[in-house]
Structure 1
């Protein structure tokens, strides 16, 4: 098993156990950036956060960890 496979497995385990916290963190980061940019990029930030959550949630092949 290579380095990236091990990293993916560890990240998948973290998402399984802490998915809600990770999702909240991504949302908070997007909101913070949106505030700092004066709301210019709100839609793009929301889309990016949603895509990041979907990608992390799909690491284990199931969409059940991040809401």
Structure 2
């Protein structure tokens, strides 16, 4: 089963894959960018700011198969 992933162009010009979620977030999207799941603002298409030193603890790396 190979679904085509929706791609989105961020405000800085990077292209990210939109990830499907079971929750209905109103103002954010979950995207995969360089193998890491990140949060972006739906309206402005900007990445959410990491939490300083905790960035690595809260990054979810996507397993490549």
Normalised TM-score (structure 2): 0.30
Q: Which has the higher contact order (CA 8 A, sep 6+)?
A: 1
Give the strand-richer structure, 1 or 2.
Answer: 2
Normalised TM-score (structure 1): 0.30
Query: Which has the larger Rg?
Result: 1
